[in-house]
């Protein structure tokens, strides 16, 4: 199958050179990243990709919230989740009470 994708950035020059064969994929015991080569294969993201995004977003939230330590950030997140769970539980209890009065 021909590669019809547009190549930009650092791979642009490599895409223009069609004389070199594509790199072969080697399986090693210590490899964390395995490309998807066949249908139905589980995708494994490159190492550190998601954690870098998560850390970046956490830093932004920390600066917006005024948190100075990671421990404060975790406590704030935990409290937000707990209050949301309690709010939903209270809302369900109120709904049940209202339904019981209506009967």
Reading the block at residue 49, the tokens are 């990709």
Considering Cα of 76, then 77, then 83, then 86, what sign does the dihedral take?
A: negative
How far is the CA of 7 from the CAs of 3, 15, 16, 24, in angstroms?
10, 6, 9, 19
Could you give the angle at the alpha carbon of 13 between the alpha carbons of 11 and 15, nearest 5°?
70
Residue 24 lies in a domain: no
Residue 103 lies in a domain: yes
Residue 94 lies in a domain: yes
Tens digits of per-residue pLDDT, 36-89?
Answer: 677 877 777 666 667 788 888 888 989 998 999 889 998 999 999 999 999 999
Domain enclosing residue 79, as ranges: 68-103
Residue 46 lies in a domain: no
Instruction: Compute the average pLDDT of residues 6-19.
Output: 56
33 confidence band (pLDDT: 50, 70, 90): low
The owner of tokens 């600066």 is: 63
pLDDT of residue 95 exceeding 90 = yes
Residue 54 lies in a domain: no
pTM of the shown model: 0.45
Q: Report helix, strand and coil shares of the chain as percent, to nearest 5.
A: 55, 0, 45
Indicate the number of domains in the chain: 1
pLDDT on residue 92: 96
Residue 90 lies in a domain: yes
Cβ pair 27, 34 in contact under 8 A: yes
């Amino acid at each position: 199958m021909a590669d019809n994708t547009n190549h930009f950035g650092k791979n642009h020059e490599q895409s223009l050179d069609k004389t070199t064969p594509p790199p072969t994929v080697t399986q090693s015991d210590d490899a964390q990243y395995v490309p998807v080569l066949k249908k139905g294969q589980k995708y494994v993201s490159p190492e550190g990709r998601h954690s870098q995004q998560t850390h970046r977003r956490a830093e932004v939230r920390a600066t917006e919230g005024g948190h100075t330590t990671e421990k404060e950030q975790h406590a704030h997140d935990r409290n937000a989740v707990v209050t949301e769970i309690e709010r939903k539980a209270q809302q369900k209890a109120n709904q049940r009470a209202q339904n019981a009065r209506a009967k």
